[in-house]
C-alpha cells in the first residue's frame, strides 16, 4: 500500500475499487458496521429481556441497604450499610491482598531467583524444584489446599484459650489473634512522624549522593535512615505520654474478642498468591541476572567490590531493565488472580459484587463495576511500572 | 611442570591427575556444596531441613499410608498419621470422569486418549503441515463422538453430565484452538494502518487483559442469557468455552504481535516490492515467520490456560478440579481432603511440567538456525 | 481480509437465526408434549429433595413432583430430563426456557412471583431457616449465638434473613461466606464456624449425609423465617400451571383418601366412594377439564405414590433423614397440607 501511495504521482488513474485508501475505508466501515449491528442486536435483546423480566436498571441500588454481613473488613461496615459501601469494602479488600501480595511475591521471588543462580548446588536445586512445583499446578488448587490445610490443622478457639503465646497471641482456625495497642492520639502522630522521617531520609540520601559525586566522601545513609525511622516516632511516642495500653484478645463466648485478627481466608489467599507468583517472579529475576554480561561481574570483582556490592551496585541495576517489563504483567496477574478469593470465601470485590447481583438481579451494572474497577487498578499499575521503567532505563549518551 | 623442565618431548608428556579434592565426587562436593564456611553451613542447614521435610512427607505419603481401607475411619484406625490413598483409589473414576454415566466411563477414557494422542502428535514437528489438520479432525471427531454419543448405538450424553479430565482437556484444547485465529486477527488488526480497525482491536485486547478471567466467566454465565433473545439458550459448557476463547484470544494476540514485531522491516518491503497484496503478504510472508517465533511462548500460554480452566469450578462446571472437590464430599471419608488435593496437584503437575519442558525443547530446536 | 468478511457474514447469519428462534416461546405444554419429555431443574444433590443415586437415578420429593407431572402429561414418570440448576442461575434457567419447571427447594416470595416473571405451584414443603451447631458448644437457643462465627451460602434469602435476625436481636456475628455448598459445609464441619445456617430440612439433610458424626450436631429449635418451597415455572401458560398445581393436589388428595401406589388398582376396580372414583377417573370428566385423559391421577399415584408415601420414602422414617412431618402433615392431622377438592 505504501508503494502505491508513493507511486500515485505518475501512476495512471486507478479505478476506485482498486484505490487502497478507499478500499481501506470501505472495509473499515463494513467491519465496524457489522460490529455495530451485533452490538445493537445484543443491546436490543438485553433491553427486551430486562423489560420482560422486569429487572431494574441504573445504579440506584448503590444507596440501598445491603442487608448482608461481610466477615472481614478494615473499614466500617454493617448489614445496615449500603450496597455501595459493600462494594467499597470489596475494593479495599482486593487492594489489601493485592498490594501485600505484590510486595511479598517480589521479595520471595527475588530471593528464589537469586537462589537458583547460587554456586551452592543444593540451594540452586531446591529453588528450582520450588519454581517448578508452584508454576505447574493451578493457583486455585493451591488456594483450596492451603485454605483447607489451615482450617483443618489448626484448633478451634476454645481449645487454645489458655495456650496462647504470652497469653496474648493465639493461632486458631478462626485466624491469628494478636494484641493491638488501645486507641490513643499518639499513634496518629507517630504515623506522621514516620512519614516525616522518610521525607528527611530521602533528602539526606540526595544530599549524600551529591556530596559523594562531588567529593568522593561517603555518608552512612542507611544507618541515618534507620535511626530516623525508629527514633523520630519513638520521640513522638514519649512526648505523647508513652501510651502502653494493649487490647489483648480474650476468649469471650464463641470467639476471641479484642485484639486484631488475621482471618484464615485472607492468609490463605495471600500465601497462595505469594507462593504461586513468586515462582514466576523468580524466573524473571533469574533471566534478568543472566542477561547481564559476565564481564560486568568480573570487572566489578576485579575492582574489588564485595559480592554483595557486585549484586547491589552492578548486577541488579542492569538486570532491572530486563526484569521490570515482565514484572508488570506479574503484578497485574496478582491483582487479577486475587479474584479467586471467591472460591475460598474471602470477601473481595468479585465476591461483594456477586452477592449484590444475586440480591438485586442487576447483573449488568455489577459486571460493569468489576470491569471498571479492575481496569483502573490494572491501568494504575501499568502507568506506575512504565514510569519506573523509564526511570531505570539505560540513558544512552 | 617437571616434565617440561627436564626437557622431554611433548609427545611423552603424561598428564597428571588434578590435585586431590579438585576432581571426582569429592571435588564436585567441594566445588558445589562446601565452597566456603558460609556455603558449607548453608548446605548443612538446607540438608537438615530437606531431610526433615522430605522424611515427614514420605512418612505421611508412603510409610504410614493406607492403600486398601474401605472407609475413612478404617484408614484412621489402621494407619494413623498416614495418607489415606485408599480414598483416592475409591474415587479415582469420579475424579477423572465426574458425573458421566458410570457404566459408560470407557467413553471419556478413550476420548481422553484420543485427545492426548492428538496433542502429542501435534508436538511432533514432522506433522507440522497438512497432516496436522487431518490429525485434529480425526482426534476431535473421535473424542467428541465418544463424549456426545447419539450415533453408532452410543447413548447421547449431555455436556451437563460431562466431568473431570475430558472437560479440562476440551476446554483448554478447543479454547485455545478457537482463540488462535481470533488472536491472530486481533494482532494483525492492532498493527493495521486502518484507524477504526486498530482501535477496535486495541480496545478488545486491553479490555480483556485488564480484567480477571473470573469476571468473564461470571459474565458468560449470568449476563449472556440476557444478551440473547428470550427462549434462546446456549449450553452452559459452551458459554464457558466462549469466555475462555475470548480471554485466550487477547493473550494470544499480544504474543503474536510480539512475533510480528520481530520480523525485519525488509520482509514487508520485499513483499511489497514483489507486488503482493495485503492478504498474500500476510499469509505467505509475514505470518509463517511470526508464528515460528511465537510457538514456544504459545505452548507456555497453553500451560497457563490448562491451569486456568480450573476456574470454571466457580461457575459450577465439573472440570478435573471440581470433580475432585465433589469426590471429597463423602461422609465415609471425611477429613481426607488433602489426599485428593495432593493427587490432583500431581496430575496437573505431570501434564503442565511435560508441556513446559516441551516448550523449552522447542525453543532450543527452533533457535538452532539462528544460534551461533 | 476475506476471512474477516466471511466471519462477519457468518456472524450476521447466525444472529438472524437466533432472532428466528424467539418465535416459539408460547405454549409450554405443547412444547413438552412435542418433545415427549419434561425438563426439570433440580439442584446439586441434597438428600430428601433431589439426590442423584449411584445408579444415576434422581430421587427426592422435589423430584417426585416432576415425575408426577410427567406421569400426568406424558403418561410415564420416567420421561423427565433433570438439569442441574445452581442457586444463582436457576431463575434465569426458567426464564430463558432452559427448563420447563424448577423443582428445587425454591422459596416462594412476592418478588420472585412477580418481578422475575415466574409462577409458583402448590407448596410442596413448608420449611424455615434454622441453625445447626456442634453439640459440644452447649448452645440451647439461637438467642445465645451472639458473637458466633456463622457459615452461610451467598446469593440466597438465607444470608439476608441471618443478618436481619441478628440485628433484630442486637447480636453480633462474623460471617464466613462461601459460594459452593459443599465447601461451606466442609468449612462448618471442620470447625471454621460455630454455626451453620440454612433451611432446617437442608440442615437435617446435611447432618445426615455430610457430617462426620451426625450425633455431634444439633439443630436449634428456632426457625427464623418462613420458607414455603414450591415448584416454579414461567408465567404465561395457564394450562401447564393448572397441571403443575393439580398434580400435587392429586398426591395430597390420594393421601387424604388412603389411596396408595399399592392399593390404587384395587381401589380403582372396587371402590365406590364418589370422591375416589372422581380422582381415579372411574367417573370421567376431571382429566378432560385439565386437558388430560381421565387416568392422569391414577398414573401419578400408581407411578409416584401419594404425598405421604413420597415424604416417608424421601425424608421420613423410610429414609436416612428421619425428619418429622411437622407442618407438612395433612390438615386432618394438624398440619398445613390442604388440597382443594377434585370435583
Instruction: Say how many domains are in chain A.
Output: 1
**Amino acid B369: pLDDT:** 65
The pLDDT value recorded for residue C13 is 45
Q: Is A166 left (phi over 0), alpha (psi -120 to 50) or beta?
A: left
Residue C174: which of A71, A148, A359 has the nearest Cβ?
A71
Inter-residue long-range contacts of C86-90, CB under 8 Å, 24+ positions, other chains counted: C86/B316, C86/C43, C86/C44, C87/C43, C87/C153, C87/C155, C87/C156, C87/C181, C88/A358, C88/B222, C88/C155, C89/B221, C89/B222, C90/C41, C90/C43
Give the H or E element holding residue C38: strand C38-42
Min Cα distance B130 → chain A (Å) is 31
CB contact A254 to C (< 8 Å): yes
DSSP state of A66: -
CA distance, residue C99 to nearest chain B CA (Å): 10
Among B188, B217, B237, B316, the strongest candidate for a mutation testing the C interface, having the largest count of C CBs within 10 A, is B316
Kindly identify which residue of chain A lies nearest to residue C187, measuring between CA atoms: A151
Cβ pair B231:C97 closer than 8 A: yes
Which of A71-75, A207-211, C226-230 ranks highest by mean pLDDT? C226-230
Q: For domain B94-367, is the CATH number 3.90.650.10? A: no
Q: Is the pTM value of this prediction over 0.90?
A: no
Domain boundaries, chain C: 36-126+229-257+306-333, 130-225
By CA distance, what is C54's nearest residue in B?
B102
**How far off is chain B from A25, nearest CA to CA, in Å?**
8
Report the distance separating Cα B107 and Cα B147, nearest Å. Answer: 6
CB contact under 8 A, C154 and A351: yes
Contacts of residue A177 in chain C, CB cutoff 8 Å?
none
- Has residue A67 been placed in a domain? no
How far is residue C188's CA from residue C96's CA, in Å, rounded to a whole number? 35
Taking the C-alpha atoms of residue C278 and residue C294, their distance in angstroms, rounded to an integer, is: 9
**pLDDT at position C155:** 67
DSSP secondary structure string for all residues of C255-308: HHTT--TTTHHHHHHH---HHHHHHTTSSTTHHHHHTS-TTHHHHHHHHT--HH
Return residues 236-265 of C near A (CB < 8 Å): none
Residues of B in contact with C97 (CB under 8 A): 230-233
Other CB atoms within 10 A of residue B266 CB:
9
Q: Which of C39, C41, C44, C56 has the highest number of chain B CBs within 10 A, making it the mutation to test binding with B?
A: C56
Residue A140 to chain C, least CA–CA distance (Å): 14
Residue C20 or residue A149, greater confidence: A149
The residue in chain A having the minimum alpha-carbon distance to the alpha carbon of residue B206 is A375
pLDDT in tens, A10-36: 556 777 777 777 877 888 888 888 989
Contact A342 B314 (CB under 8 A): yes
Average pLDDT over residues A40-66: 78
Tell me how far apart the alpha carbons of residues A86 and A79 are, in angstroms, rounded to a whole number. 9
Q: pLDDT of A351-361, one tens digit each?
A: 888 888 877 77
User: What cell was used for B89?
Assistant: 483409589
Query: Is A159 part of a structural domain of the chain?
Result: yes
Identity of the residue in C89, C93, C182 whose CB atom sits nearest the CB atom of B329: C182
Distant-in-sequence, close-in-space partners of B160: CB < 8 Å, separation ≥ 6: B235, B236, B237, C83, C84
Touching subunits of C (3+ CB pairs, under 8 Å) are A, B
A335 in a structural domain: yes
pLDDT tens digits, one per residue of A126-142: 999 999 999 899 999 99
* Predicted pLDDT at C121: 94
| Residue ranges of domains in chain B | 20-78, 94-367
Tell me if C190 and A264 make a contact (CB, 8 A cut-off).
no
Of B209, B314, B342, the CB nearest to A343: B314
Q: Is B316 on the interface with C (CB under 8 A)?
A: yes
- The better pLDDT of the pair A351, A164 is held by A351
pLDDT tens series, chain B, 372 aa: 444 445 445 556 777 776 666 667 777 777 777 767 777 888 888 888 888 888 888 888 887 777 877 777 787 777 777 788 888 888 888 888 887 777 778 888 888 888 888 888 887 777 777 887 888 888 888 788 787 877 777 777 777 778 788 888 888 888 888 998 999 999 888 888 888 888 888 888 888 888 898 888 888 877 777 787 766 667 778 888 989 999 999 988 988 888 888 788 888 888 888 888 788 888 888 888 888 778 878 888 888 888 888 888 888 788 888 888 877 777 677 777 788 888 999 999 998 998 888 888 887 877 776 554
Name the B residues in 293-322 with CB < 8 Å from any A CB: 303, 307-308, 310-311, 313-314, 321
**A98 interfacial to chain C (CB closer than 8 Å):** no
Rounded to whole angstroms, the Cα distance separating A122 from C298 reads: 78
Minimum CA–CA partner of C100 in chain B: B231
C224 contacts: CB under 8 Å, gap ≥ 6 = C128, C129, C130, C131, C142, C161, C162, C164, C165
The verdict on residue A303 lying in a domain is yes
Q: Which residues of A touch B273 (CB under 8 A)?
A: 3
Q: Please tell me which of the candidates C4, C98, C186 has its beta carbon nearest to residue B185.
A: C4
Contact at CB, B42 and A149, closer than 8 angstroms: no
Q: Does the residue A34 lie in any domain?
A: no
Supply the CATH number for residue A178's domain. Answer: 1.10.3720.10
Say if A147 falls within a structural domain. yes
C31, C212, C213, C214: best to mutate for the B interface, most B CBs within 10 A: C212
Asked if the C-beta of B39 comes within 8 angstroms of chain A's C-beta atoms, the answer is yes
pLDDT of residue B245: 92
ipTM given for this complex: 0.83
Give the integer Cα–Cα distance in Å for B152 and B144.
Answer: 13
Contact A120 B33 (CB under 8 A): yes
CA dihedral of C264, C265, C271, C277, whole degrees rounded to 10 = 70
Asked if A136 lies within 8 A of B39 by C-beta distance, the reply is: no
The Cα–Cα gap between A28 and C7 comes to: 14
Question: Which of A31, A136, A339 lies closest to B215 in CB terms?
Answer: A339
What are the pLDDT digits (tens) for A210-242? Answer: 888 888 777 787 888 888 888 888 888 888 777
Task: Please give the mean pLDDT across all residues of chain A.
Answer: 83
Neighbours of chain A (3+ CB pairs under 8 A): B, C
Residue A347: inside a domain:
yes
Helices (H), strands (E): how many in chain A?
Answer: 14, 7
CB-based contact, C94 to chain A, within 8 Å: no
Strand order in the sheet with C118-120: C80-84, C38-42, C101-102, C232-234, C118-120
Q: Which residue of A has its CA nearest to B195?
A: A28
Q: What span, in angstroms and rounded, lies between the C-alpha atoms of B184 and B207? A: 17
Interface contact A242, partner B, CB < 8 A: no
CATH number at C36-126+229-257+306-333: 3.40.190.10
Q: Which CATH architecture has domain C130-225?
A: 3-Layer(aba) Sandwich (3.40)
Q: What is the mean pLDDT of each run of 10 residues along chain C (343 residues)?
A: 45 43 55 90 83 78 95 93 79 80 89 81 92 90 88 82 90 85 85 90 84 88 90 89 94 94 91 90 88 92 94 88 87 92 88
pLDDT in tens, A303-327: 888 877 888 888 888 888 888 888 8
Amino acid at each position: 500500500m505504501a508503494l502505491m501511495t508513493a507511486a500515485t504521482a505518475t501512476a495512471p488513474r486507478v479505478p476506485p475499487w482498486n484505490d487502497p485508501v478507499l478500499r481501506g475505508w470501505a472495509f473499515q466501515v463494513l467491519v465496524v458496521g457489522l460490529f455495530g449491528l451485533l452490538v445493537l442486536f445484543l443491546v436490543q435483546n438485553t433491553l427486551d429481556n430486562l423489560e420482560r423480566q422486569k429487572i431494574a436498571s441504573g445504579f440506584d441500588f448503590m444507596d440501598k441497604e445491603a442487608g448482608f454481613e461481610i466477615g472481614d473488613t478494615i473499614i466500617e461496615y454493617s448489614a445496615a450499610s449500603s450496597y455501595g459501601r459493600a462494594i467499597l469494602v470489596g475494593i479495599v479488600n482486593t487492594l489489601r491482598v493485592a498490594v501485600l501480595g505484590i510486595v511479598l511475591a517480589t521479595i520471595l521471588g527475588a530471593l528464589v531467583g537469586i537462589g537458583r543462580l547460587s554456586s551452592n548446588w543444593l540451594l540452586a536445586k531446591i529453588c528450582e524444584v520450588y519454581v517448578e512445583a508452584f508454576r505447574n499446578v493451578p493457583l486455585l488448587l493451591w488456594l483450596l489446599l492451603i485454605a483447607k490445610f489451615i482450617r483443618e490443622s489448626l484448633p478451634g478457639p476454645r481449645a487454645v484459650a489458655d495456650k496462647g503465646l504470652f497469653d496474648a497471641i493465639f493461632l486458631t482456625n478462626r485466624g491469628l489473634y494478636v494484641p493491638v495497642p488501645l486507641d490513643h492520639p499518639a499513634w496518629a502522630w507517630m504515623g506522621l512522624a514516620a512519614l516525616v522521617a522518610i521525607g528527611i531520609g530521602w533528602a539526606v540520601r540526595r544530599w549524600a549522593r551529591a556530596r559523594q559525586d562531588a567529593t568522593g566522601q561517603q555518608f552512612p545513609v542507611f544507618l541515618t535512615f534507620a535511626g530516623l525511622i525508629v527514633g523520630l516516632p519513638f520521640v513522638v511516642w514519649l512526648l505523647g505520654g508513652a501510651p502502653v495500653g494493649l487490647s489483648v484478645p480474650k476468649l469471650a463466648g464463641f470467639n476471641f474478642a479484642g485484639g486484631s485478627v488475621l482471618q484464615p481466608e485472607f492468609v490463605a489467599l495471600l500465601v497462595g498468591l505469594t507462593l504461586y507468583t513468586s515462582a514466576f517472579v523468580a524466573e524473571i529475576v533469574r533471566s534478568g541476572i543472566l542477561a547481564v554480561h559476565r564481564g560486568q561481574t568480573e570487572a566489578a570483582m576485579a575492582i574489588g567490590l564485595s559480592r554483595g556490592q557486585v549484586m547491589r551496585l552492578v548486577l541488579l541495576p542492569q538486570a532491572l531493565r530486563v526484569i521490570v517489563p515482565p514484572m508488570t504483567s506479574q503484578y497485574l496477574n496478582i491483582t487479577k488472580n486475587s479474584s479467586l478469593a471467591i472460591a475460598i470465601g474471602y470477601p473481595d470485590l468479585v465476591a461483594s459484587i456477586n452477592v449484590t447481583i444475586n440480591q438485586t438481579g442487576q447483573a449488568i451494572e455489577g459486571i460493569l463495576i468489576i470491569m471498571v474497577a479492575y481496569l483502573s487498578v490494572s491501568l494504575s499499575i501499568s502507568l506506575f511500572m512504565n514510569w519506573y521503567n523509564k526511570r531505570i532505563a539505560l540513558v544512552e549518551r | 611442570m617437571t616434565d617440561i623442565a627436564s626437557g622431554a618431548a611433548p609427545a611423552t608428556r603424561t598428564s597428571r591427575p588434578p590435585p586431590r579434592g579438585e576432581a571426582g565426587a569429592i571435588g564436585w562436593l567441594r566445588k558445589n556444596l562446601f565452597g566456603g564456611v558460609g556455603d558449607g553451613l548453608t548446605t548443612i542447614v538446607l540438608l537438615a531441613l530437606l531431610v526433615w521435610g522430605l522424611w515427614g512427607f514420605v512418612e505421611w505419603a508412603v510409610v504410614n499410608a493406607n492403600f486398601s481401607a474401605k472407609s475413612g475411619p478404617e484408614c484412621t484406625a489402621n494407619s494413623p498419621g498416614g495418607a489415606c490413598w485408599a480414598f483416592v483409589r475409591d474415587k479415582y473414576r469420579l475424579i477423572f470422569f465426574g458425573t458421566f454415566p458410570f457404566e459408560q466411563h470407557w467413553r471419556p477414557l478413550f476420548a481422553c486418549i484420543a485427545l492426548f494422542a492428538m496433542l502429542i502428535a501435534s508436538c511432533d514437528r514432522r506433522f507440522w503441515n497438512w497432516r496436522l489438520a487431518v490429525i485434529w479432525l480425526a482426534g476431535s471427531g473421535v473424542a467428541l463422538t465418544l463424549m456426545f454419543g447419539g450415533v453408532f448405538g452410543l447413548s447421547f450424553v449431555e455436556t451437563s453430565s460431562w466431568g473431570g479430565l475430558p472437560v479440562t482437556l476440551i476446554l483448554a484444547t478447543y479454547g485455545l484452538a478457537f482463540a488462535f485465529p481470533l488472536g491472530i486477527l486481533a494482532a494483525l488488526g492492532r498493527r493495521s494502518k486502518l484507524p477504526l480497525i486498530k482501535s477496535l482491536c486495541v480496545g478488545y485486547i486491553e479490555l480483556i487483559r485488564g480484567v480477571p478471567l473470573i469476571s468473564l466467566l461470571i459474565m458468560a454465565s449470568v449476563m449472556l442469557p440476557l444478551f440473547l433473545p428470550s427462549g434462546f439458550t446456549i449450553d452452559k459448557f459452551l458459554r464457558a468455552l466462549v469466555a475462555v476463547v475470548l480471554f485466550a484470544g487477547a493473550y494470544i494476540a499480544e504474543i503474536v504481535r510480539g512475533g510480528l514485531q520481530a520480523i525485519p522491516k525488509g520482509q514487508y518491503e520485499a513483499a511489497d516490492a514483489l507486488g503482493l497484496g495485503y492478504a498474500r503478504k500476510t499469509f505467505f510472508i509475514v505470518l509463517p515467520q511470526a508464528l515460528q517465533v511465537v510457538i514456544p511462548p504459545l505452548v507456555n500460554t497453553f500451560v497457563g490456560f490448562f491451569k486456568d480452566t480450573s476456574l470454571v469450578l466457580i461457575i459450577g462446571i465439573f472440570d478435573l478440579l471440581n470433580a475432585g472437590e465433589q469426590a471429597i464430599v463423602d461422609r465415609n471419608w471425611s477429613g481426607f481432603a488433602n489426599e485428593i488435593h495432593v493427587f490432583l496437584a500431581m496430575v496437573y503437575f505431570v501434564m503442565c511440567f511435560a508441556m513446559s519442558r516441551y516448550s523449552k525443547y522447542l525453543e532450543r530446536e527452533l533457535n538452532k538456525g539462528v544460534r551461533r | 481480509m476475506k476471512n474477516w468478511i466471511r466471519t462477519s457474514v457468518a456472524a450476521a447469519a447466525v444472529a438472524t437465526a437466533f432472532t428466528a428462534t424467539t418465535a416459539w416461546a408460547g405454549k409450554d405444554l405443547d412444547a413438552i408434549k412435542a418433545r415427549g419429555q419434561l425438563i426439570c431443574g433440580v439442584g446439586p444433590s441434597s438428600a430428601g429433595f433431589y439426590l442423584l443415586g449411584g445408579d444415576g437415578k434422581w430421587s427426592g420429593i422435589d423430584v417426585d413432583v416432576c415425575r408426577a407431572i410427567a406421569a400426568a402429561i406424558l403418561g410415564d414418570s420416567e420421561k423427565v430430563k433433570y438439569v442441574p440448576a445452581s442457586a444463582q442461575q436457576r431463575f434465569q434457567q426458567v426464564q430463558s426456557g432452559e427448563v420447563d419447571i424448577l423443582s428445587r427447594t425454591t422459596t416462594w416470595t412476592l418478588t420472585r412471583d412477580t418481578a422475575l416473571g415466574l409462577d409458583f405451584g402448590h407448596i410442596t414443603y413448608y420449611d424455615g431457616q434454622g441453625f445447626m451447631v456442634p453439640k459440644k458448644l452447649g448452645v440451647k437457643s439461637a438467642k445465645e449465638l451472639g458473637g458466633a462465627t456463622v457459615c452461610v451460602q451467598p446469593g440466597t434469602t438465607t444470608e439476608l434473613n441471618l443478618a436481619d435476625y441478628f440485628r433484630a436481636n442486637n447480636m453480633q456475628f462474623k460471617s464466613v461466606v462461601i459460594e459452593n455448598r459443599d465447601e461451606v459445609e466442609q468449612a462448618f464441619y471442620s470447625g471454621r464456624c460455630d454455626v451453620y445456617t440454612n433451611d432446617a430440612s437442608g440442615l437435617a439433610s446435611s447432618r445426615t449425609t455430610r457430617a462426620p458424626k451426625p450425633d455431634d450436631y444439633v439443630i436449634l429449635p428456632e426457625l427464623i423465617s418462613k420458607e414455603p418451597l414450591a415448584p416454579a415455572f414461567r408465567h404465561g401458560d395457564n394450562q401447564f400451571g393448572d397441571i403443575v398445581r393439580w398434580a400435587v393436589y392429586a398426591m395430597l388428595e390420594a393421601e387424604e383418601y388412603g389411596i396408595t401406589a399399592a392399593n390404587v388398582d384395587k381401589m380403582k376396580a372396587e371402590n365406590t366412594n364418589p370422591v375416589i372414583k372422581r380422582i381415579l377417573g372411574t367417573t370421567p370428566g376431571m382429566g378432560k377439564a385439565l386437558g388430560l385423559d381421565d387416568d392422569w391421577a391414577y398414573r401419578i399415584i400408581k407411578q409416584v405414590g401419594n404425598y405421604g408415601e413420597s415424604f416417608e420414602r424421601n425424608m421420613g422414617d423410610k429414609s436416612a433423614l428421619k425428619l418429622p412431618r411437622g407442618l407438612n402433615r395433612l390438615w386432618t392431622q394438624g398440619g398445613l397440607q390442604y388440597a382443594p377438592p377434585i370435583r
